[in-house]
Amino acid sequence: MIPDIDEDEDTPPIVNKKIKTENGVLDKVSPNITSPKTRTTTTTTTITTNKSTSSVKTTPTTRKPVLIKKEIDSSSSDSSSDSSDSSSSDSSDSDSSSEDEKPKKAVTKKPSPASSKKNSPKPTATTPKKAAAKKKPEDSKGKKKTTRKRKIEETEEEDDNGKNRWWEEEGDEDGPKWQTLSHNGPVFPPAYIPHGTKFLYDGKVVKLTPEQEEVATFYANYLETDHVKKEAFRDNFFAEFRGLLTTEQKKTIKNLAKCDFSHIHTFLQERKETRKSRSKNEKDAEAAEKKKLQEKYGFAMIDGFKEKIGNFTIEPPGLFLGRGAHPKTGMLKQRIYPSDVTINIGKGENVPPSPIPGHEWKDVVHDNTVTWLAFWKESINGGTKYIWLAPSSKIKGQADRKKFEVARKLKDCIESIRKGYIKSFTNDSEEKRQLGVALYLIDFLALRVGNEKGEDQADTVGCCSLRVEHIKLGKDNTITLDFLGKDSMRYFNTVKIRPDAYKVLQECVKGKKPSELLFDDLSVAQLNTHLKKQMDGLSAKVFRTYNASITLQKELNKMDESEYSTIEEKILYYNRCNREVAILCNHQKAPPKNLSETLGKIDDKILEYNDLIDLCRIKLKLKPKTSDKDDIEEREKERLKKLIEANIAKKEENKTDKEVSFDTKATFERSRNIPDGEQKINDKIDKYEKQIKKLEIQKTTKDELKTVALGTSKINYLDPRITVSFCKKWGIPVEKIFSKALRDKFPWSDVDKSYKF
């Protein structure tokens, strides 16, 4: 960090970041957050806006929190007895130096794996949910649907209990990845079935062979999307398409603009509709079929345990959807056959037969130094595509946990590393100065390292590949970074940096053309070699993990219980901390297409409730709060009119417009009925006010998160144990924060509330 600006050594800055979408709309994301210190204030400010609202949110769902409370109580009493076990095993098999970080941790003897497997009621991250599953039926008056669903879940989880609880055992994480491995091989996408829908060129029907039709159909599918707006996409596709034409066809079909795929497009739309409206029986049958396939091909046996496979189907052929300005976007991704696929399987295991007659596997290997089950080369860039186990597997889980352990280790040496790179700002060697500043930017701004890229890829950069054109040196040690990063997401950020770093950057820019490398004396390999020397296992990406997790931990610690008292509010707080991390890591998403529309609708609703409140006030002979009577009545008329129009538009055939209009009016007026009696009217006002507050929260959240994606950091950067301990501390059911998939991914995260990253 920058000690002279930033007092909080460990926390990365949440900077004055503006996110600009590709079309040039400029949005400020947390504009007044400039450093951890100010951030505190900001958070509090936001909280205040929300404080009032949160009570609204909880009220309608009182039943749930009460239930939840019970579950938590029971589960936390379970866990207090043995959770220290899991946290001690956690650290002992990874990093002893982190031991002193956690003074609270009792060193209890490890449970023998055998006994812990079945006998002890060991809680997992999913325990509270199990309790919920068991209690819910009594509680919710036996709703058929829920009961059935719960049962399924329960069986699934009970299954889990007999399974591989690897995180409780001593792990040998180096060495071979597996001892035995068997699986049924990948599934291939179905062969293309021609539909015969007509294709026109220059208004005339051109008969297509199945191969030609297939590719035309790929394109037709994207007609309404942004892909076809890219020139490269159209050009690349057309080149592929023409490549499939006969010499004769080529003579006429020369211009994509004259190709008419609209009939195929319509056909595809209709087919989607038909699929959607299949009978329930059909859907069920299909689901059953899918499940059967999943059962057979979706699992591998590895070291005696059944593990889920992440992606067991080979990617189907299609058009390559490269992100951003990828020069190859729109090219044809060729169909993959068994003869393209190499299988990795245990020695002596049954090699699955090739599912396509006449094609044999490209190769069968028995390599237990790797974790893939199969791979093939894709036709666009010659890249390798793999079949791997799912994130819930031991192999993935161990690697994931290790990643966080490395990041925690960084915590112990971050101070000296920071001192080191700051010192090198004034080193005599230009190379050392550049390395220092690059590292500083990676640490301070959570930049990616930025490997070199080829000409045939989108022009995106990271720290080491930054060019002079990507940085502007402003006044007062301020820099503005503006570049396209991974996935062509724009990183646009103005931030004040250390003066000594600023000086080095001035040097880096001096006399260089915009297209030249900012750090021309530095390579990624050098940088990582340097980091390896500082700490075992350290590389540039660890800084992102470290800064993301430490930020979450620190932000969560700051929570003011009195401001966030209910579970709902605490979850809101958690999400806000999560958001800070997402902004730090520049995790963006495209804003919802109809955001302004949605927000407008909410505004309308709020206005409507305000009007209703005022109507109540008028009846109470009080002065209306927001509008005068005439305005309100005007709007009410308008509302009724719109409602009638809408209802007429979707009316049933046997009704006349008049009938609909009459009914709608009656319903509308009933909804406007204000009861008699002061108390009743006041109750009504209360109800409306709560609605308004709820809508306002909704609006703020939507707005705050319109371009920020929380998921990526949750899945990849935040040590799940921080979240679990936060949940335990405040009695929040983990499943409120971690989806099923995440709970499955992090079975090893069941620590007690004293866990510290």
- Identify the three-state secondary structure at position 180: coil
Span of 156-164, 259-267, 380-388, 678-686 interacting with DNA by CB under 7 A: 380-388
- The nearest distance, CB 725 to DNA, in angstroms, is 20
- CA gap 350, 340 in Å, rounded: 20
Q: Where does residue 705 rank: exposed (0-12), middle (13-18), buried (19+ CB within 10 A)?
A: middle
Among 263, 589, 619, 639, binds DNA (CB under 7 A): 589
Task: For residues 192 and 373, give the distance between their C-alpha atoms in angstroms, rounded to a whole number.
Answer: 26
Q: Hey, which residues between 126 and 155 contact DNA (CB under 7 A)?
A: none
Q: Does 489 bind DNA (CB under 7 A)?
A: yes
Piece of 77-85, 107-115, 230-238, 318-326 that binds DNA (CB under 7 A) = 318-326
| Residue 473 bridge partners (DSSP) | 479
In the shown chain, the binding pattern of residues 727 to 756 toward DNA, with x for contact by CB under 7 A and - for none, equals ------------xxxx--------------
| 47 binds DNA per the rule CB under 7 A | no
Beta-carbon contacts of 119 under 8 Å, excluding residues fewer than 6 positions away, are: none
Question: How many Å apart are CA 604 and CA 707, to the nearest integer?
Answer: 23
Residues 233-292 that bind DNA (CB under 7 A): 287
Residue in 8, 78, 349, 378 binding DNA, rule: CB under 7 A: 378
Q: Which of 268, 14, 95, 76 is nearest to 754 (CA)?
A: 76
**Spatial distance between the Cα atoms of 217 and 196, rounded to a whole number of angstroms:** 10
Residue ranges in 180-219 that form contacts with DNA under rule CB under 7 A: none
Cα–Cα distance measured from residue 158 to residue 624, given in angstroms and rounded to the nearest whole number: 59
| Residue among 376, 385, 398 at smallest CA distance from 307 | 398
Q: Which is closer to DNA, CB of 85 or CB of 443?
A: 443
Considering beta carbons, is residue 541 or 639 the nearer one to DNA?
541
Question: Alpha helix (H) ranges present in 277-393?
Answer: 280-297
- Is the CB of 1 or the CB of 332 nearer to DNA? 332
Instruction: Pick the closer one to DNA by CB: 253 or 414.
Output: 414
Tokens of 125: 């991250």
Q: Is the dihedral of CA 102, 106, 112, 114 positive or negative?
A: negative
Of residues 53-72, those binding DNA (CB under 7 A): 60
| Near DNA in 630-689, by CB under 7 A | none
The DSSP element (H or E) to which 243 belongs, if any, is helix 231-243
Among 539, 566, 700, 754, binds DNA (CB under 7 A): 539
Q: Please, what is the minimum distance in Å from the beta carbon of residue 704 to DNA?
A: 12
Q: Which is nearer to DNA, 19 or 253 (CB)?
A: 19
Q: How far is the CB of 590 from DNA (least distance, A)?
A: 3
Catalytic residue (choose from 502, 564, 609, 717): 717
Tell which positions 323-342 bind DNA, by CB under 7 A. Answer: 323-324, 326, 333
Site map 73..92 versus DNA, x via CB under 7 A: --------------------
- Dist. CA 580–CA 207, nearest whole Å: 56
- Please tell me the distance from the alpha carbon of residue 675 to that of residue 627, in angstroms, as a whole number: 21
Q: Is 417 in the site for DNA (CB under 7 A)?
A: no
Q: Please, which of residues 692-711 interact with DNA by CB under 7 A?
A: 698, 702, 709, 711
Instruction: Specify the stretch interacting with DNA by CB under 7 A; choose among 32-40, 509-517, 553-561, 713-721.
Output: 713-721
Q: Sign of the C-alpha dihedral, residues 105, 109, 114, 119?
A: negative
Q: Pick the closer one to DNA by CB: 544 or 728.
A: 544
For residue 492, report the phi and psi dihedrals to the nearest 5 degrees: -140, 110
Distant-in-sequence, close-in-space partners of 351: CB < 8 Å, separation ≥ 6: 343, 345, 361, 364
Provide φ and ψ at 103, rounded to 5°: -60, -30
Q: Does 320 engage in binding with DNA (CB under 7 A)?
A: yes
In the complex with DNA, the residue whose CB is nearer, 322 or 338, is 322
Torsion of CA 477, 483, 486, 489, to 10 degrees: 110
Q: Among 528, 565, 700, 754, which residue sits at the site for DNA (rule: CB under 7 A)? A: 528
Among 105, 587, 693, 706, binds DNA (CB under 7 A): 587
Among 386, 431, 655, 704, binds DNA (CB under 7 A): 386
- Residue 108: DSSP 8-state: P
DSSP conformation class of 736: G
Based on CB atoms, which residue is closest to DNA, 74 or 379? 379
Residue type, 312: F
Among 225, 252, 266, 426, binds DNA (CB under 7 A): 225
Distance CA 510, CA 503 (A): 11
Minimum CB separation of residue 385 from DNA in Å reads: 7
Judged by CB under 7 A, the stretch of 37-45, 92-100, 372-380, 679-687 that binds DNA is: 372-380
- Of 142, 176, 196, 316, which one interacts with DNA (CB under 7 A)? 316
Please say which residue, 109 or 276, places its beta carbon nearer to DNA: 276
Q: Which of 112, 161, 426, 451 binds DNA (CB under 7 A)?
A: 451
Among 457, 478, 627, 754, which residue interacts with DNA (rule: CB under 7 A)? 457
| CA proximity to 555, closest of 427, 399, 675, 726 | 726
How many Cβ atoms sit within 10 Å of the Cβ of residue 289?
10
310: helix, strand or coil? coil
342-344 and 363-365 strand pairing: parallel
Which two structure tokens, joined as six digits, stand for 277?
Answer: 């409206």
Query: Is 688 among the catalytic positions?
Result: no
Stretch that binds DNA, among 6-14, 230-238, 250-258, 305-313 (CB under 7 A): 305-313
Distances, alpha carbon 174 to alpha carbons 93, 94, 177, 369, 399, in Å: 12, 12, 8, 10, 10
27 touching DNA, by CB under 7 A:
no
Asked if residue 40 binds DNA (CB under 7 A), the reply is no
Q: Does 541 bind DNA (CB under 7 A)?
A: yes
- Site residues (CB under 7 A) for DNA, limited to 497-526: 523-524
Q: Quick one: which H or E segment has residue 343?
A: strand 342-344
Contact by Cβ (8 Å): 443, 419:
no
User: Could you tell me if 517 and 465 are in contact, meaning their C-beta atoms sit under 8 angstroms apart?
Assistant: yes
Alpha carbons 156 and 620: distance in angstroms, whole number = 57
Cβ closer to DNA: 192 or 201?
192
Which of residues 120 and 598 has its CB atom nearest to DNA in the complex? 598
Binds DNA by CB under 7 A, chosen from 131, 542, 584, 660: 542
Q: 3-class SS at 711? A: helix
For residues 236 and 477, which CB has a smaller minimum distance to DNA in the complex? 236
Residue among 78, 101, 349, 367 that touches DNA (CB under 7 A): 367
Among 333, 209, 311, 167, CA closest to 751: 167
CB of 550 to DNA, least distance (A): 15
The CB-of-542 to DNA minimum distance in angstroms stands at 6
Residues that contact DNA, how many (by CB under 7 A): 81
Could you list the active site residues?
717
